[in-house]
Amino acid sequence: MRYLPILLIVFLTSLQGFSQSEDEQQIKSIYEVAMTKGKAYDWLNYLSNQIGGRLSGSIQAELAVAYTKSLLDSMGIDRVWLQPVMVPKWVRGTPEFAYVETTPGLTTDLPICALGGSVATPLGGIKAPIVEVKGIEELASLGKDELAGKIVFYNRPMEPTLISTFDAYSGCVDQRYSGAMEAAKYGAVGVIVRSMNLRLDDLPHTGAMGYGNSAISSRIPAAAISTNGAEFLSTTLKLSPNAKFYFKQNCKTYDDVASFNVIGEIRGSTYPNEIMVVGGHLDSWDLGDGSHDDGAGCVQSMEVLRLLKETGYRPKRTLRVVLFMNEENGLRGGKKYAEVSKGKNENHVFALESDSGGFSPRGFSFDCSDTILEKAKSWGPLFEPYLIHSFVRGYSGADINPLKDTGMVLVGLRPDSQRYFDHHHAENDTFEHVNKRELELGAAAMTSLVYLFDKYGMVETP
Amino acid sequence: MRYLPILLIVFLTSLQGFSQSEDEQQIKSIYEVAMTKGKAYDWLNYLSNQIGGRLSGSIQAELAVAYTKSLLDSMGIDRVWLQPVMVPKWVRGTPEFAYVETTPGLTTDLPICALGGSVATPLGGIKAPIVEVKGIEELASLGKDELAGKIVFYNRPMEPTLISTFDAYSGCVDQRYSGAMEAAKYGAVGVIVRSMNLRLDDLPHTGAMGYGNSAISSRIPAAAISTNGAEFLSTTLKLSPNAKFYFKQNCKTYDDVASFNVIGEIRGSTYPNEIMVVGGHLDSWDLGDGSHDDGAGCVQSMEVLRLLKETGYRPKRTLRVVLFMNEENGLRGGKKYAEVSKGKNENHVFALESDSGGFSPRGFSFDCSDTILEKAKSWGPLFEPYLIHSFVRGYSGADINPLKDTGMVLVGLRPDSQRYFDHHHAENDTFEHVNKRELELGAAAMTSLVYLFDKYGMVETP
C-alpha cells in the first residue's frame, strides 16, 4: 500500500489549481482587513437603525438607494449608477387585529400580520368559522361543502428534522404563497397561515403571497399567525370545533412606483467584458429593519469591492456590486438587471449572492458545471483556516437567478441557517441580532471566492 | 489517469472503519429524536430560569445538583450518585462601583465587576492614579517607580483576526488571571482588566483570577471593566494622563464548603470496565444564568444518555455522564473525579466535554493518538449530512483533562465560537441567547460520536 499515499498526493495536487502561498497570503490579507477595518457592520447599523425596514416603494427604500449609492460613490471605484426599475407598492396600513371566539363574547386575541400583497378585509373585518388544514392538498378532499364561507387555517409546521432550515422553509412556503388563491377556489373567505418559523414564539412573520391571474373580485385576505398563536388556535379548534375566527387588516396595493437597483463597478484590467456580479437585495419587509434579510447581504457585497481595493487586488474581470430592489415582493430588480444586461449583450461569467442572513459563514452552494464545482472544491484547503467547509451543488439566489446562462457560475453564500427563520420577515429581524464578526467573516469569505474565480477564471484552465 | 479514482476509492474505503448503512440509520435516529423530542432545551430552561447562576458554594449550585440528580434518577439508567467534593466559596457582595476622575469632582462612572477570587477594596474603596499597559510583560519596564501606589489597567484586547475566539481568549486571559499578582510585585494597589470580549459593549465579564502563593497582605483587588469602558478609560488617559481611578467592591472568600459532582451511568453490556465519560460543568459564574457556560454542556451530556436509550442503543462500554462542580474557580470537581477514579483503578477509555457554548456544532477537537484521530476523521461522511466538518487535534475540556492517560481518547465539542465571548461570564449569558436547534444539534453530534466510539472501540481494530 505504500505507493497509494504518493498517488493520492499527485491526484489531489492535480485538483488544486492554485498557487498556495500567494493565494494564502491574499486571503489572509482579506480576512485581516475585514476583521480589523471592516465597514460592513457600520454600514448595516446605518441601514438598519437610521433607515429601517425598506419595503419596495417606501420612503425607506428610496433612502436606502441614496445611502448605498453615496457609499459606493465614496469608494473611488470606476463607475456607480442607478438602474431604474418599476416596483410594486404594497402598504400594510394600521396594525392588524385577530381573535378566536369559542362561544359568543368569549374571545382570545392572537398575533397576526397581513401577508405581503394581500387584499384588506372588509372595513369591519371578517368573522367566520375556521377550518384547520395541513396543506393545500387537503382542500380538494374537504371541498366547497366544508370550506365555502369559512376561513382556512394552514398549519403545517416547518419540518424540524431537516438540518438546513431553508429546506424546511421550502417544504412549507406554498401555504403562504398560494394558500389564499387555492382556498378561494372553494369559496373560502380568508386564510390564516402559520408563520414560517421553527421556533415557538409570539411574532407573526410576513412574506410574499400571490393571487395569480384570479379575478380581483375573487381575492381573499391572507394573514400570518405566530407559531404560538397557531398552536393555540389548533388546540382551541380541537376543543371547540365551531369556534369562529375574526381578523381585520387594511393593507393596500397602489400603482407601481419608480425605484432603482444600485450598481457599482470596478472595470476589469484584462477581461473588461467578462462581468462578475456580487450582490444582495436592498429592499426588505416592513416589520423589522431587514438586518439579516438582506441588509447583511448588501453591506457584505459592497464590502467585497472595498476589501479587494484595500488589499491592493485589481480584478482582471469587471466586478460589479448590484444591490437589487424588490426581491421580497416581485423580484423586479433581479429581472430588470438581467433584461438590461441581455439587451446590451453583456457577458456575465459569475454571480454571487448573499441572501441567507449575516450568520457565521459555512460555505457556498454552486449552480454551475461539475468541472467548476470540482475546481471550487479544490480551493477547500485555502478556506479551511477560516472554517469554510461546504462547497455543494445548490441554489444560488433569487436576484441573480434570472442571469443564469450556459457556462455561467452562480453561487450563494451559505451561512449557518439555524437562527435565520427565527427572524425572517418578522419584527425581530433587527440589527442587534447580527454579530459583527459573523457578518465580517461572511464578507471575507465572499471576497476570497471572488478573488479566486477572478484570478483563475471560470473554466478549468484559465 | 483513469485508475486513480479507483485506487482513491479503495484507499478511502480502507480508512472507513464503519458499516455505512447501519450507522447512517442510527445517527439519523439520534438526530430525529433530538430534534423532535429533545429534552435538553427544557432542562436548560429550568436550570437557567428557575435556578439561575450557579457559582460554586451558592444555594443555586446546590439546587442544580438536586435538580440534575432528579433528572438522571428519572431516566431509568443503571446508577446515579453524588460524588462529594469541597469547593471554594467566593461571594461578590453588593454591586461594584467605579469612576474615572479627570479633575477633582469631574467623574465618569464606568461599569466594572470584581474578578472571581479577588479580595475586596477597603470599605471606602480605592482611589489612585491609573497606568495603562497592554500586558504583564510591560510591568518590568515601568518598574516600581511608575507603578507603586497606582492602579494598573490591563487593556490588551482580544485579537480580532483569530478565527477561533478561543485562541483570542487564550492570548489575553493571563491579564485577568495573573494581572493582580504580578502588579502587586511592583507595589500597585489594584488592577482593572479589560473584559475578555471581542464586542464593544457595556457589560463587564468576570472570571477566575488567582494570587498564587503570595502573602495575604500583598493581595490587591482586581476588577474587570466592560470593553466600551476600557476604550473610554484609555482615551481619557491619553487626554488626562493624571486622571485618577476609583473603585469599590466588597467581595469575600469564605471557607470551602461541601458540594458534589453529579454522576449517572449506563453499565456496559460487553466491556463494563471500560468507562466512557461525557460531561460539562454544573457551576457557572454569578452574573448571568450560565446558559452557555456551561448549562448547555450539562443538558447536552445528560441528553446523550437519553438519546442512546430512546434510540434503543445499549452501549458496550460503561457510559457515564458527569456534571462537574467548580470548573470556573477551582476545577475541584474535575480533579476530584480523576482522583477518585485513579484510586479505584477505573479504566477510562474515552471522555467528551461540552464547554464551549450551546451554539451550532461545527465539529470536535481530539486529544488522542494519530491513529484514533484518523479513525474519527474517517467517520466524516457520516457527519457530513449534519454539517459537522471539523475533526482536528486540540484541547478537550478543563474538567476531563485531569483524567488524561496514555491511550485514552479526550474530545471537546467545538461549536461555532463567534458569539461565545459576547456572553461569557457576563450578565447576558442567559437562556434567551441559546437557540433550541443549535443546542439539540450539539447533543445529537455528541451522541453520534459516543455511539461510534462505543461501537468501534478506542483502538484501530476493536
pLDDT beyond 70 at B14:
no
* Phi then psi dihedrals of residue A103, to 5 deg: -135, 155
Task: Give the distance from residue A418's alpha carbon to the nearest chain B alpha carbon, in angstroms.
Answer: 7
Strands A112-114 and A222-225: antiparallel
Q: How many CB atoms lie within 10 A of CB A216?
A: 7
pLDDT beyond 50 at A8:
no
Interface of B with A in 145-174 (CB under 8 A): 160-161, 163, 165
Residue of A nearest to B5 (CA): A11
Q: Determine whether A96 is an active site residue.
A: no
pLDDT beyond 60 at B1:
no
Using the structure block, give the residue that is written with the C-alpha cell 398552536. Answer: A231
**Angle, CA of B154, A434 and B297, to the nearest 5°:** 70
- Following DSSP, what letter does each residue of A2-44 receive, concatenated? THHHHHHHHHHHHH--S-HHHHHHHHHHHHHHHHHH--HHHHH
Q: Are B435 and A422 an interchain contact pair (Cβ–Cβ within 8 Å)?
A: yes
Q: What is the mean pLDDT of residues A26-43?
A: 98
Contact residues, chain B, for A165 at CB < 8 Å: 437
Please write the tens of the pLDDT for every residue from A166-182: 999 999 999 999 999 99
Contact residues, chain B, for A441 at CB < 8 Å: 163, 418
Q: Looking at the DSSP assignment, which residues form a beta bridge with residue A266?
A: A319
The answer to whether B390 and B362 have CB atoms below 8 angstroms apart is yes
Task: Give the distance from residue A160's alpha carbon to the nearest chain B alpha carbon, in angstroms.
Answer: 6
- What's the burial of B105, exposed, middle or buried (CB within 10 Å: 0-12/13-18/19+)? exposed
pLDDT beyond 80 at B142:
yes
pLDDT beyond 60 at B4:
no
Task: Output the pLDDT for position B7.
Answer: 42
Residue of B nearest to A41 (CA): B199
Contact residues, chain A, for B165 at CB < 8 Å: 437
Q: What is the mean pLDDT of residues A354-370?
A: 97
Single out the residue of A255, A413, A252, A263 nearest to residue A336, CA to CA.
A263
Task: Give the distance from residue B293's alpha carbon to the nearest chain A alpha carbon, in angstroms.
Answer: 19
- Banded pLDDT at A354 (limits 50, 70, 90): very high
What average pLDDT is seen over chain B? 95
Nearest-angstrom CA–CA distance, A426 and A227: 12
- Residue range B16-90+255-456, CATH number: 3.40.630.10
The residue of B29, B45, B360, B414 whose CB has the most chain A CBs within 10 angstroms, and thus the best one to mutate to test that interface, is B360
The answer to whether B192 and B130 have CB atoms below 8 angstroms apart is yes
Contact residues, chain B, for A14 at CB < 8 Å: 1
Nearest-angstrom CA–CA distance, A435 and B236: 28
Single out the residue of B360, B439, B457, B348 nearest to residue B399, CA to CA.
B348
Q: Are A441 and B35 an interchain contact pair (Cβ–Cβ within 8 Å)?
A: no
The answer to whether A170 and A128 have CB atoms below 8 angstroms apart is no
Q: Say what the pTM is.
A: 0.94
Gap between the terminal Cα atoms of chain B = 36
Q: Are B31 and A416 an interchain contact pair (Cβ–Cβ within 8 Å)?
A: no
Pick A36's closest partner by Cβ from B11, B161, B436.
B161
The verdict on A267 touching B (C-beta cutoff 8 Å) is: no
Chains A–B, number of C-beta pairs less than 8 Å apart: 76
Residue of A nearest to B199 (CA): A436
Cell of B367: 486529544
Task: Output the pLDDT for position B459.
Answer: 72
Fold match between domain B16-90+255-456 and domain B93-250: no
Pick A198's closest partner by Cβ from B416, B422, B437.
B437
Task: Output the pLDDT for position B18.
Answer: 59
- Banded pLDDT at A459 (limits 50, 70, 90): confident
Q: Are B390 and A385 an interchain contact pair (Cβ–Cβ within 8 Å)?
A: no
Q: What is the longest distance spanned by two Cα atoms in chain A?
A: 83
Q: How many CB atoms lie within 10 A of CB B272?
A: 15
Task: Give the distance from residue B284's alpha carbon to the nearest chain A alpha carbon, in angstroms.
Answer: 24
Q: Look at the alpha carbons of A98, A103, A106, A108 in this order and tell me if their dihedral is positive or negative.
A: negative
The answer to whether A204 and A223 have CB atoms below 8 angstroms apart is yes
pLDDT beyond 50 at B153:
yes
Q: Looking at the DSSP assignment, which residues form a beta bridge with residue B361?
A: B415
The verdict on B15 touching A (C-beta cutoff 8 Å) is: no
Annotated catalytic residues of B are 327
Q: What is the mean pLDDT of residues A354-378?
A: 97
- b (16+ CB within 10 A) / e for A128-144: bbbbbbeebebbeebee
At the top level of CATH, which class does the domain A17-88+255-456 belong to?
A: alpha beta
Q: What is the mean pLDDT of residues A151-161?
A: 98
Nearest-angstrom CA–CA distance, B178 and B187: 15
What average pLDDT is seen over chain A? 95
- Banded pLDDT at B462 (limits 50, 70, 90): very low
Contact residues, chain A, for B418 at CB < 8 Å: 360, 435, 437-438, 441
* Residue B163 DSSP label: S
Task: Output the pLDDT for position A344.
Answer: 97
Domain boundaries along the sequence of chain B: 16-90+255-456, 93-250
- Residue range B93-250, CATH number: 3.50.30.30
pLDDT beyond 50 at A5:
no
Contact residues, chain A, for B4 at CB < 8 Å: 7, 10-11
Q: Are B4 and A7 an interchain contact pair (Cβ–Cβ within 8 Å)?
A: yes
* Helices B138-147 and B173-184, packing angle to 10 deg: 40
Task: Output the pLDDT for position B458.
Answer: 83
Pick A8's closest partner by Cβ from B8, B198, B436.
B8
Strands (E), B92-203: 97-103, 106-109, 112-114, 126-133, 151-154, 190-194
pLDDT beyond 60 at B78:
yes
H helix or E strand, kind and range, residue A74: none
Contact residues, chain A, for B390 at CB < 8 Å: 387, 389
Task: Output the pLDDT for position A16.
Answer: 52
Please write the tens of the pLDDT for every residue from B398-418: 999 999 998 899 999 999 999
pLDDT beyond 50 at A3:
no
The answer to whether B248 and B97 have CB atoms below 8 angstroms apart is yes
Strands A112-114 and A106-109: unpaired
Q: What is the mean pLDDT of residues A346-364?
A: 98
Please write the tens of the pLDDT for every residue from B413-433: 999 999 999 999 999 999 999
Percent of chain A with pLDDT over 70: 95
The answer to whether A199 and B432 have CB atoms below 8 angstroms apart is no
Please write the tens of the pLDDT for every residue from A235-284: 999 999 999 999 999 999 999 999 999 999 999 999 999 999 999 999 99
The verdict on B360 touching A (C-beta cutoff 8 Å) is: yes
The residue of A9, A161, A359 whose CB has the most chain B CBs within 10 angstroms, and thus the best one to mutate to test that interface, is A161
Task: Give the distance from residue B243's alpha carbon to the nearest chain A alpha carbon, in angstroms.
Answer: 29
Contact residues, chain B, for A7 at CB < 8 Å: 4, 7
Task: Output the pLDDT for position B29.
Answer: 98
Task: Output the pLDDT for position B16.
Answer: 52
Q: Which of A101, A327, A328, A440 is catalytic?
A: A327
Contact residues, chain B, for A11 at CB < 8 Å: 1, 4-5, 8
Q: Are A36 and B160 an interchain contact pair (Cβ–Cβ within 8 Å)?
A: yes
The verdict on A35 touching B (C-beta cutoff 8 Å) is: yes
